[in-house]
Amino acid sequence: MPPVRRKHIYVLIIPQFQDIFDSYFAGEVTKGVSLAASRLNVDILMHIVDRADHSGWLDPTLLDRRHVDGILFADIDRDVAVVKKAIGKGMPTLVLNNKLDEPINYISIDNYRSAYDVVEHLIELGHTKIATIAGDLHTQAGQARLDGYQAALAKHKIEIRPHYVKNGEFLRTPARAAAEQLFKLKERPTAIFAASDVMALEVMDVAKHRKISIPHDLSLVGFDNNPINLTAPVRLMTVAQPLVEMGRLGLERLYQIRHAKARLPLKEVIKPKIVDGSSVGSIRHK
């Protein structure tokens, strides 16, 4: 009797963070990976890891090619060494949500250009007092969105004011505190670019309590196109990330790499789309 051929198993590594099981990013990426796994008839092992300590991300079991066919990193917090460790063991790998100069396979979203475009749109509407609430700067996405914000201001020769740059860590409480700080400034910003919709909605709520009208007194842009926007009192202008598509493509490309059907290194960048909303207005009417 011939031996039973095992089903292919791929590992999805997701760094742990607050409210991970309610996370839009984690949920959408996992959904995309699951869709691809169903189509390819493979199994997915989800490995949630400590964000602060990367030393435990890869253990000998995960690096055993007899049991694992490939590793898909949902994010690496810019830690290329952990990917190189897997590559060094001969493990097919692919990184999501990071653009890498080294010969490492990845599929990423163009966070920099998207942030640049929304800030430039605010500038075209006449805004020069534009603040930002940045995401977690340990992540490439958080840093790239901040870089895009700063580059758009620099291109139009608008001063980058340090007190207009706050860190919200992609979380509600820090974002709320950041909004309070911005609204207490003597020269309050006329527009805020929040690096996630979750943070943007905290800004919106603080503005409501302070009787700051959106968009008449303040223009507000988010990032994600999170379904929670449907409950917002004002329709938020945001950036739609194709997260499901990124997750689906990630596993499909990793499957191709595993079967030597992809040209390496595989590097793909997906451009998000700006979603119009009523949370942004022209400064010229003021």
Summarize pLDDT for 217-245 with one digit per residue, the tens: 999 999 999 999 998 999 999 999 999 99
b/e string for 242-276 if b means 16 or more Cβ within 10 A?
bbbbbbbbbbbbbbbbbeeebeeebeeeeebebbe
Cα dihedral 194, 145, 25, 60, rounded to 10, equals -140
The residues spanned by each domain of the chain are: 9-109+242-272, 111-240
Mean pLDDT over each residue of the chain, to the nearest integer: 93
Q: Are 192 and 132 in contact (CB under 8 A)?
A: yes
Token pair in block for residue 76: 């690496």
Summarize pLDDT for 147-186 with one digit per residue, the tens: 999 999 999 999 999 999 999 999 999 999 999 999 999 9
pTM of the model: 0.91
Q: What is the pLDDT of residue 134?
A: 98
Which of the four pLDDT bands, split at 50, 70 and 90, describes residue 285? very low
Summarize pLDDT for 236-272 with one digit per residue, the tens: 999 999 999 999 999 999 999 999 999 999 999 999 9
Q: Could you give the CA distance from residue 129 to residue 160 in angstroms, rounded to a whole number? A: 9
User: Is 9-109+242-272 a CATH 3.80.10.10 domain?
Assistant: no
Q: Could you give the CA distance from residue 216 to residue 69 in angstroms, rounded to a whole number? A: 54
Which class is 111-240 in CATH? alpha beta
Which of the four pLDDT bands, split at 50, 70 and 90, describes residue 286? very low
Percent of the chain with pLDDT over 70: 95
Please report where in the chains the tokens 């988010």 appear, as a residue: 222
Q: Are 65 and 281 in contact (CB under 8 A)?
A: no
Q: Do domains 9-109+242-272 and 111-240 have the same CATH topology?
A: yes
pLDDT greater than 50 at residue 280: yes
Percent of the chain with pLDDT over 90: 83
Summarize pLDDT for 45-63 with one digit per residue, the tens: 999 888 778 888 998 889 9
